[in-house]
Chain A
């Protein structure tokens, strides 16, 4: 059995069976990660470059750790300290790296579609670690995996994605992933942060966070991405927190248990309050923990393909 794709560019291209295969493989890697020796030699003859054209803490460390736990050699690349600041283009940079016999590319880029473009020009497997406002597939996989771990299945589960839907690649990947696994999705946020025609993806839309929380089993709270907002889309962070922030008082008033998720980094006091983020129903740190196992699974399943061709 193999994945139906050569690259992981987005959840959009995956089948339900692909996602289930990734989860099943991640289960085994999670077991490896709980052993005294958290490492296997599977990818010991594979070299992977982490190309990060945009800042990242979690995703980057998680990928690097996943690669190391699989025994792969890793190279890290950050735009600020590289020849990109001298004006080198994407394909040139990648081709130069690949000529040093690198077997896989993990890439984050601020332009949507950058990994898709690269996939047309290079032969090795590419894993998208976030491209602009398009997709962040491994985040969606680890989110869905974390819900599955908590609730056994995603089928019929109601998931609300709260906040900056417009600029969020996490939102789009999550919508695709959750729907493929049979969950219902609702998006909520200020009208200026909800993309037009998002209903065409088959999600429900509301502008009232209380209504959304009343409906859902799981709330995935997203970060306000100020760095991607070229013009003001809401008056102030304070106002946003007041109308859309998830706080304890709001949750307590609903008298039901909701699983709280956040892809990080958290703006405490803006989209989510500390007592919610650190509360008993929060699985935010489980998400981070599962991220390593999910990324190991994706790397393992895609790496196996290189030499087969």
Chain B
């Protein structure tokens, strides 16, 4: 086990991501934030209040479930139970920021882009991720804002822990038990 981000650094990284977003999106007048279910919501829930505090403006924030858009429905042995999708504003011509915790194969983001396009035609889609597992992409997808980049093997696992869930903010790299 290796600690990638400890509790202290964790907060610094999230605040940096927020400032990078503000740099590009100003007061978020034409921008909406979409958290990807289930684990992207944790990051979005941290980012959005911080962004609102700094920009002193209300940010349109929705959650998106990608279960029905997965590409492994007939090949996966697992049946995925859907989570809620809640986007109660128009994304037409808006800049959409997708938020997820870990960027790995890129397949989730592919599904998320398909799903979001069913809600309208955004002007632009960007991606923010807390952890980027480099060199493991199966699709040509990259994040625009990265918390931390990790080189890892397929057999290893990245675990993002959240204060809200387990009482501690932390990112760790696990070696799969043999």
Q: Contact check, B81 vs A24: say whether CB atoms are below 8 A apart.
A: yes
Q: Contact check, B79 vs A32: say whether CB atoms are below 8 A apart.
A: no
Q: Is the interface of B mostly helix, strand, loop or mixed?
A: loop
A304 within 8 A of B: yes
Which residues of B are found within 8 Å of A306, using beta-carbon distances?
A: 74
What's the Cα separation between A301 and B69 when bound, in Å?
15
> Which of B54-62, B112-120, B137-145 is near enough to bind chain A?
B112-120
A100 within 8 A of B: no
A21 within 8 A of B: yes
Which residues of A are found within 8 Å of B84, using beta-carbon distances?
A: 27-28, 31
Which single residue of chain A is at the shortest CB-CB distance from B87? Answer: A35
Which single residue of chain B is at the shortest CB-CB distance from A300? Answer: B68
Total interface residues on B, using CB and 8 Å?
20
**B76-91 contact mask (Cβ, 8 Å, vs A): 1 or 0:** 0101011111100000
Given A21-B81, A28-B82, A28-B84, A35–B75 Cβ distance below 8 Å? no
Q: A32-B68, A45-B74, A300-B68 are in contact. List 8 more A-B contacts (CB 8 A).
A: A31-B84, A39-B118, A40-B69, A42-B68, A42-B69, A42-B70, A304-B73, A308-B77
What's the Cα separation between A32 and B115 when bound, in Å?
11
What's the Cα separation between A1 and B78 when bound, in Å?
8
Interface positions of A (Cβ within 8 A of B): 1-2, 21, 24-25, 27-28, 31-32, 35-37, 39-43, 45-46, 70, 300-301, 303-308
Contact of B81 among A25, A35, A36 (CB under 8 A): A25
Tell me which of A21, A43, A304 has the highest count of chain B C-beta atoms within 10 A of its own C-beta. A304
Q: Contact check, A36 vs B120: say whether CB atoms are below 8 A apart.
A: yes
3 A-B pairs closest in CB distance: A40-B68, A304-B79, A28-B82
Which residues of B are found within 8 Å of A300, using beta-carbon distances?
A: 68
Which residues of B are found within 8 Å of A32, using beta-carbon distances?
A: 68, 85
Which single residue of chain B is at the shortest CB-CB distance from A46? Answer: B74
Which residues of A are found within 8 Å of B65, using beta-carbon distances?
A: 28
